[in-house]
A and B are shown apart, each in its own frame.
Chain A
Amino acid sequence: MNTQFFAAWIQEIASAVRAQRDHLTQLDAAIGDADHGANLDRGFAAAGEALAGASPQTPGALLVLVGSTLIRKVGGASGPLYGTAFREMGKLLGDTAEVSPGRLADALNAALSGVQRLGAAAEGDKTMVDALAPAVRALARAVQEGLKTEEALDAAAAAAEEGAKATIPLQARKGRASYLGPRSVGHEDPGAASTALILGALRAAGSR
């Protein structure tokens, strides 16, 4: 997976977020402050513009630029969190020109660690970690089993979707939804839902 692949990923995320913008906002309206769709839409649109302007030459540089743009432009808690995730991925990849699935799994693991360090969330807290952590595990397992890149990305996306749906019965322990206590039960976490979109976009970029 080269720089072009990662640029395609960001494009796929931007169009998925735009298409699901209202859905994400509805999820957020139920247990948060109803800005998740709009915030991410603004952030990934800005990331696309930043990439068009700067034309980064490596996957690492591209991901760091996306992360820095998200931090500056999103405005809600997902800005620092997703921004850190993309920056950590980019930093781990360094100057590598061609990223193997194993290396991508390492990078996603670095993203997960960065998000957990910043947000202090564990699995089961009803956050984006509940989609990201299983995706990282699924990707690492697929790599170990020697699956093809497309199959490995498919496994990661499926695990993220499953993880996001599994947040529905959980009670939030982090973020704005945690103020609702038991009333947060019965709703899908918007951050986990957008993480599933982002992993779904990775699968879409892989099958382009």
Chain B
Amino acid sequence: MVGIVLISHSSGLAAEVAALARQIGGARVPLAAAGGTDDGGLGTSPDQVAAAIKDVDRGDGVVLIPDLGSSVLTARLLESPGSVVIADVPFVEGAISAVVAAGGGASLDGVLAAAEEAWHVRKL
């Protein structure tokens, strides 16, 4: 199963979006939240993100979903073509789409495509 890492400036934001995505998309998906700095402040910790990637990697690839700013830059430092890829998607909607697709057994490309569909889901 494809693993997913949610990267945010805020530890709370990453953890709560992960909880929401898990509830909607299923608890079986390897999903980790990496938010905030090592000392609990707002920011990004490359060490936390690297550990999260390791944690959710089941050999089928990992999708990184960053929120903005340094989350994106940190994700880019840790991407690895074909195995650890970044989804350039809205954070909440993209996370949910990705988790649902991963839970359905989609491939790495499939999960990425599902996450990107979140761009086209209108609310009204």
Q: Which one, B41, B43, B46, B73, contacts A81 given CB within 8 A?
A: B73
Give chain A residues whose Cβ lies under 8 Å from the Cβ of B42. Answer: 33, 35
Mask: chain B, 53-78; 1 = CB below 8 Å from A; 0 = not = 00000000000000001100110110
Q: Which one, B37, B47, B76, contacts A80 given CB within 8 A?
A: B76
B43 touches A75 (CB 8 A): yes
Count of CB-CB pairs between chains A and B under 8 Å: 44
Which residues in window 42-91 of A have CB below 8 A to B?
71-72, 75-81, 83-84
Give chain B residues whose Cβ lies under 8 Å from the Cβ of A147. Answer: none
B73 touches A72 (CB 8 A): no
Give chain A residues whose Cβ lies under 8 Å from the Cβ of B44. Answer: 75-76, 79
Q: In the assembly, what is the distance between CA of A53 and CA of B41, in Å?
A: 26
B45 at the A interface (CB under 8 A): yes
Name the prevailing secondary structure of the A interface residues: helix
A77 touches B45 (CB 8 A): no
Mask: chain A, 120-135; 1 = CB below 8 Å from B; 0 = not = 0000000000000000
- Identify 19 new A-B residue pairs, CB closer than 8 A, beyond the known A35-B43, A75-B37, A79-B44: A35-B42, A39-B43, A71-B77, A72-B45, A72-B46, A75-B38, A75-B44, A75-B70, A77-B69, A78-B70, A79-B70, A80-B70, A80-B74, A80-B76, A80-B77, A83-B77, A118-B77, A119-B73, A176-B69
B residues contacting A by CB (< 8 A) are 37-38, 41-47, 69-70, 73-74, 76-77
